[in-house]
Structure 1
Amino acid sequence: MFRSMKTFLGAAALTVAASATSAEELRIGTASLGGAFYPMGQSISNVVTKHAGAGLSMVPIVTGGSVQNPNLIAAGEVEIAITNNNLAALAIKGKGPYTKAGPIDIGAVAALHPSVLHMMVLADSDIKTFEDLAGKRVAVGPAGGGTLGFLNFLLPLHDMSVDDFTPSFVSYSDGFSQLTDGTVDAALALSGYPAGAVMQATAGAELRFIAFSEGQLDAALAANGAYMSVEIAPDVYGTADSGTLIGVNNMLVAPNTLDAATVQAVTAAIFDNLAELQGENANARQIEPAMSLQLAIPLHAGAQAYFDAK
């Protein structure tokens, strides 16, 4: 009987060990605190952990943001990440910020909320247009964040470079804090709206959007079809006037080497429980499932299987 009990306990231990091995935790790359990517990643993690089943869980990771995230996937530091349409298209071709790394083999998992380039100053600032940033101190977000990708696109269109102003490479939260305490003259943040960093800043200061000079936004949109114009109403941040900003759709991406069944389970957890996700995260209310079929890169095999079944 003792031997039988030992055999039983040994088998049980093996079963527990096998169960522990089958559990899978996915790390989702988000961005710095104060933007929309981290809370979105946190909400997605909650829904996936709750509904994906089969021991699958997810945890959000603070990163440099949308530019860095494809590189983190390539390095194996995260298994899934948030980036945007334009950067995903560059990543799979090994172009732009991914020239050094070469093509990154990622597929789209889901369309998320759009991000807009918040360009803001204190209401009484003498900075009116993008060109007025010349000679100023500007919080540009973290190195590796999506804001820099937009700047690298917009500056040449304005015959400017980053050397024309003094950049401060800090998180969005810190950048808008610097704006309100006068350390910088302007703050930028590529984020969904409302952005936490901006909301926090408006609690103690009146802000204003920096405008594009006449024709400049149209020229930018013509130069890159991945971008779009987004109107932010005054009631979003309590500004005196609305803001016409440049934006881009975001997406969830994963390496094409990630198991298709795992990605299908993640996709199902998100879209089969979208109302729950939207109840937890305001930016998720801007998610349109049909947009997942209109992204700049092909769907991951697991995501494709989910949408084919629908």
Structure 2
Amino acid sequence: MKKKFLALFALVFALSLFLVACGGNETSTGGKSEGSKEGETTKTEKPKFLSMLTGGTSGTYYPLGGEIAKMITDKTGIQTDAVSSNASADNVLALSKGEAEIAFVQTDVMAAAVEGINAFEESGKITNVLALGSLYPETVQIVTLEKSDIKSVEDLKGKKVSVGAPGSGTYINAEQILEIHGMTMDDIKPQNLDFAESTGGIQDGNIDAAFITAGTPTGAVEGLSATNPVKIVPIAQDKVDALIEKYPYYAADTIKSGTYGLKEDVTTVAVLAMLAVVDSVPEDTVYEMTKAVYENADKITHAKGEYIKLENALKGIGIDLHPGAEKYFKEAGALTE
């Protein structure tokens, strides 16, 4: 009887050792799967949700972002939501803090973020945000009423002028355009308003003019022009040339007559709108996102959809591409080794 008991005890003890050994190979929080090595990281899983930061609801980013977000959702199976925001600079900072995964941003603002200048002096260089691709030109529009005595940038001196939120792309454009004309924010009475507030302020007579950097036609300006004849203040050609020489991410642009009821073309400048993505989004996911955008842009109903083409996807980008976007552009022939 005693021998049987000892044999049974030995069997139970051996079995318990076997179970402990097996349990040690299970994957669990803080454990390693069989065959894993010290220092290796497992592949990030495909996300179920993505947040896309756009801009104010009266600008171009928000409605266009809604269409692109739906396109990504439909083509990748990842629920992607377009969210209104303060645009460019705030969007990049939010990405860097992990508050969203994708965002609209101006190419000039993204370049400043990587360098840690302008709106990013306090935060320092942004190192975890990469490029997905360029979308369309964003025109700098200095908007006022047709009856206004403002005919040139110099005429803005002493006037109440909306320049957008501090650190926004529009604000930086306003600073740089004033600079080229030998002026600073101290020469005007700057108002930090969004696009809708800007055009509302012009209509009500609370402000004299507004810088609005967005794809044309811009909804807020169209709304103003529907009730009040508007004027877009031109930038003289020599100033356009000087601006481009100092800040190469600008390009000469023209607002065509007929836009907003304008009677003639207006000379100005533009930067490019782009999509930026945080570097933690998996390569395969960004590849799918990039493919979804550039192979289905012809289905976009927004007027800016016509500019979103493979041949324009790398224009104005002065920062590194996300590996997933780079993989797609090489595959599509837009990027060579």
1:10 paired residue number: none
In 1: Cα distance, 2:242 partner to 2:184 partner: 17
Q: 1:296, 1:219 → 2: CA distance?
A: 20
Q: Secondary structure at the match of 2:290?
A: helix
With normalisation by structure 1, the TM-score equals: 0.88
Pick the aligned partner of 1:176 from 196, 199, 212.
199
Q: Deviations over 1:216-262 (max 9, x none)?
A: 12111111111011111111211122111111111101122221111
**Cα distance, 1:23 vs structure 2:** 5.5
For residues 1-310 of structure 1, the aligned pairs below 5 Å read: 24-53=48-77, 56-104=78-126, 105-213=128-236, 215-277=238-300, 280-294=301-315, 295-310=317-332
Q: Which has the higher contact order (CA 8 A, sep 6+)?
A: 1
- Unaligned stretches of 5+ in structure 2? 1-44, 333-337
How large is the RMSD of aligned CA atoms in angstroms?
A: 1.6
Q: 1:33 is paired with a residue of what secondary structure?
A: coil
Report what 1:16 is aligned to.
Answer: none
CA distance in 2, matches of 1:146, 1:161: 16
The Cα of 1:69 is off from its aligned counterpart by 1.3
SS of the aligned residue for 1:82 comes to: strand
Deviates more, 1:122-131 or 1:165-174: 165-174
Superposed displacement of residue 82, structure 1: 0.9
How far 1:291 moved relative to its partner? 2.4
The whole-number CA distance in structure 1 between the counterparts of 2:160 and 2:152 is 15
Alpha-carbon distance between aligned partners in 2 of 1:176 and 1:108, rounded to the nearest angstrom? 32
Offset, 1:308: 2.0
Identity rate, percent: 29
TM-score (norm 2): 0.81
Give CA deviations for 1:99-142 in whole Å, capped at 9, x if unaligned.
22122122111210110111011111110110111111112223
Find the aligned partners of 1:23 and 1:262 in 2 and give their Cα distance. 8
Q: Which amino acid aligns with 1:59?
A: D
Moved over 6 A (4+): none
Q: Equivalent residue of 1:152, what SS?
A: helix
Q: Contact conserved, 2:55 with 2:62, CA < 8 A, in 1?
A: yes
Gaps of 5+ in 1: 1-20
Q: Which whole-Å CA distance do the structure 1 matches of 2:181 and 2:46 have between them?
A: 53
- Distance change (3 Å), C-alpha of 1:213 and 1:244: closer
The AA in structure 2 aligned to 1:287 is I
Hey, what's the Cα distance between the residues in 1 that align with 2:86 and 2:123?
A: 17
Decide whether aligned partners of structure 1 residues 39 and 144 sit closer, same or farther in structure 2, where only a CA change above 3 A counts. Answer: farther
Task: Check whether the contact 2:236–2:267 (CA below 8 A) recurs between aligned residues.
Answer: no
Asked whether the equivalents of residues 294 and 308 of structure 2 are also in contact (C-alpha less than 8 Å), the reply is no
